[in-house]
Structure 1
Amino acid sequence: MNTFLHQPRLAADDLFSALRTLLPQRQPVRSTTTAGVEVMSLLVAADKVRDIWGEWRGRHGETGWWPFVSTMTPEGLTSGGRLSEGVDAAVLESMVAEVVCQDHDARAASILLADFLWTTDPAYLDEGEFEEWLDEYDPDRLAHRLGPAITEPLPGVFRWVPEEPNTYYWRDQWWLHFVPARGGYEVPVMLPGLISTGNNPTHYLPPADDAALLRRWHEQWGAELFYASGPYLELVVDQPPLDPRSAAQAAAELRGYCDDTVDESQITGDGMARSTVWSLWWD
């Protein structure tokens, strides 16, 4: 039977065995969603989780399993609740087929346009305010307000998986989950509801929208899914945009995706968009 679901190169049993030897003092957990997605999970000490994630991210081509960090437990990912409600094997197959076949660049553009239209309802804005919003969403206009090109990416700041024990979000250990996926951009589809993109039902994005933007950012700037847990998302970005036009494009798209975090595109275009970590959250 043909399927759009990703078939990993490394068998689940072999991955489980590899994780058992990775940290012998911590046993991995094996679980399955109601749609049949198998998830491997390992509790990792805070001072090791980024390095281990980086190692297994680098091995994704040979394993076919994408790693990501989360505060969500294996049971929280796979046992009922919002991640699996109404999603059986047939629904999952349809969702993955949509993601595989969609024009992700066009869909990403439509997300930006939809957010712009949603936030600029003409019933509540006068002409001057509309022009101000264009300055925030139009990359060509925004680029003229950004600083000049830089030669090296700005150092990223991990907000949700911080390095310092005295920071607010510090934890001694984190869950590292492995999901069979073509890339990190497919994880929100394999685990729908993993990313909560807002509390307004008229502006809640479906997993295919998450996948479209994450895939575009992966192809454009090497952005990879690192951390996901409800309204919190963090991407590691290998080649962030350094020139004003590209940084403006990234900042506008980040705004369209998460205007709770990106409420000033200029600040993001000169800052986070040009850095190696994109840290987002939805209110």
Structure 2
Amino acid sequence: MSSSSFRPRPLLSSDELLHRLRTGFPAAEVEGAMTAAGVEVLGLRVPREQAGVVWEEWRARHDETGWWPYVTLGSPTDMADGRGELGWDADVLEWVGEAVAQDHDARAASVLVSACRWAVEEVANVDDDLDLWRSDYDPDRLAPLLAPAVERPLPGVSQWATGTRDFFEKDWRWVHFVAARGGYEVPVLLPFVYTTWNWSGYGDRGLTPLDASAILRRWHEQWGAELFFATGPYLELVVDRPPLDPRGAAQAAAELHAYCHDTVQDPVKTGDTMARATMWSLWWD
């Protein structure tokens, strides 16, 4: 079976979706573009404070459209232009097929194992408590260090999609739409939507779009995490069912730590806070 047979097929054509967007938002800027790999990206420009509401509305319509929405800064044309620096355009179709067929839980687990091995072997020195290092990546060791279970998810606050952190102090956002089975496919369809693989926070253990897809799919299935905002080294996920008990929070914190050590430097703190919240905000330096 060819890789192209795994390409997600939307229920609405791009023309139909563009028509709905223009009808629903007559005063808004709407455009579409296509990447060199043939992936269509449609976009709607909205005021920053409305981006979350628009995203929620169209996420709820994903089953009837087949187009996944995410919030970002640039237009679809910006996304489509100048994205072939690493020569990945030819790999996109193959990646989509591999992302569908891969054991995403196993691949996500391999990221956790490799991060632990790298930390213990490359970062820790002979005077360090290696058991303490390992506890950052071992949920069974981490869980007893966390606070007791909470009754309901902690409120999550968007830092970038609707917030004004850092250089995102702009009044407008784009809501992009990509034909995908879920947000977890976006990293392989648009490898530069957010670029963890350009940052060397873990030495030579660079992560790939397939790693990102596996991790996002695991988090989607385990905790209802959905791709919400993506641009450059910044990522935000809306989490519908965050873990509330220490063991589940420890698992989430360990995986977040392994995936994005730049943000999650203290797994205990993360296990008691962000891991149990409805928004996960990550960035790579």
Q: TM-score range by the shorter chain?
A: over 0.9
SS in 2 for 1:260: coil
Instruction: Tell me how far apart the structure 1 counterparts of residues 16 and 70 of structure 2 sit (CA, whole Å).
Output: 19
RMSD: 1.7
User: Equivalent residue for 2:275?
Assistant: 273
How big is the shift at 1:157?
1.7
Instruction: Tell me how far apart the structure 1 counterparts of residues 148 and 131 of structure 2 sit (CA, whole Å).
Output: 23
* 1:161 and 1:170 in contact (8 A); partners too: no
Matches of residues 197-276 of structure 1 in structure 2 within 5 Å? 197=196, 199-200=199-200, 202-276=204-278
Indicate how the Cα distance of structure 1 residues 33 and 259 shifts in structure 2: closer, same or farther if over 3 A, else same: same
Instruction: Tell me how far apart the structure 1 counterparts of residues 275 and 174 of structure 2 sit (CA, whole Å).
Output: 27
- Figure out how many residues of one structure are paired with residues of the other and give that number: 279
**Structure 1: stretches of 5+ with no match in the other structure:** none
User: Equivalent residue for 2:87?
Assistant: 86
**What amino acid is aligned across from residue 266 of structure 2 in structure 1?**
E
SS in 2 for 1:225: strand
How big is the shift at 1:56?
0.3
User: Equivalent residue for 2:70?
Assistant: 68
Give a deviation string over 1:224-278, Cα, whole Å, max 9, x none.
0000001000000001000000000000000010000000000000000000000
How big is the shift at 1:26?
1.6
SS in 1 for 2:121: coil
SS in 1 for 2:229: strand
**TM-score with structure 2 setting the length:** 0.93
How big is the shift at 1:132?
1.3
How big is the shift at 1:133?
0.7
User: Equivalent residue for 2:16?
Assistant: 14
How big is the shift at 1:92?
1.6
User: Equivalent residue for 2:145?
Assistant: 145
Instruction: Tell me how far apart the structure 1 counterparts of residues 80 and 222 of structure 2 sit (CA, whole Å).
Output: 31
Give a deviation string over 1:164-215, Cα, whole Å, max 9, x none.
x6x5433211011000101000001100122221521623211010000100
User: Equivalent residue for 1:180?
Assistant: 179
User: Equivalent residue for 1:57?
Assistant: 59
**What amino acid is aligned across from residue 170 of structure 1 in structure 2?**
E
User: Equivalent residue for 1:136?
Assistant: 136
* 1:195 and 1:233 in contact (8 A); partners too: yes
Instruction: Tell me how far apart the structure 1 counterparts of residues 106 and 195 of structure 2 sit (CA, whole Å).
Output: 22
Instruction: Tell me how far apart the structure 2 counterparts of residues 123 and 238 of structure 1 sit (CA, whole Å).
Output: 35
Point out the more displaced range, 198-207 or 209-218.
198-207
* 1:33 and 1:78 in contact (8 A); partners too: yes
Indicate how the Cα distance of structure 1 residues 63 and 123 shifts in structure 2: closer, same or farther if over 3 A, else same: closer
* 2:151 and 2:244 in contact (8 A); partners too: yes
Instruction: Tell me how far apart the structure 1 counterparts of residues 20 and 110 of structure 2 sit (CA, whole Å).
Output: 41
Indicate how the Cα distance of structure 1 residues 123 and 17 shifts in structure 2: closer, same or farther if over 3 A, else same: closer
How big is the shift at 1:87?
3.1
SS in 1 for 2:282: strand
Matches of residues 23-38 of structure 1 in structure 2 within 5 Å? 23-38=25-40
How big is the shift at 1:136?
1.0
How big is the shift at 1:129?
2.7
Instruction: Tell me how far apart the structure 2 counterparts of residues 179 and 281 of structure 1 sit (CA, whole Å).
Output: 22
Give a deviation string over 1:126-182, Cα, whole Å, max 9, x none.
26431111121110010000000011000002111244x6x5433211011000101
**TM-score with structure 1 setting the length:** 0.94
**What amino acid is aligned across from residue 151 of structure 1 in structure 2?**
E
Instruction: Tell me how far apart the structure 2 counterparts of residues 237 and 196 of structure 1 sit (CA, whole Å).
Output: 21
Runs of 4+ in structure 1 over 3 Å off: 167-170
Point out the more displaced range, 169-178 or 52-61.
169-178
SS in 2 for 1:262: coil
SS in 2 for 1:112: helix
Instruction: Tell me how far apart the structure 2 counterparts of residues 190 and 101 of structure 1 sit (CA, whole Å).
Output: 15
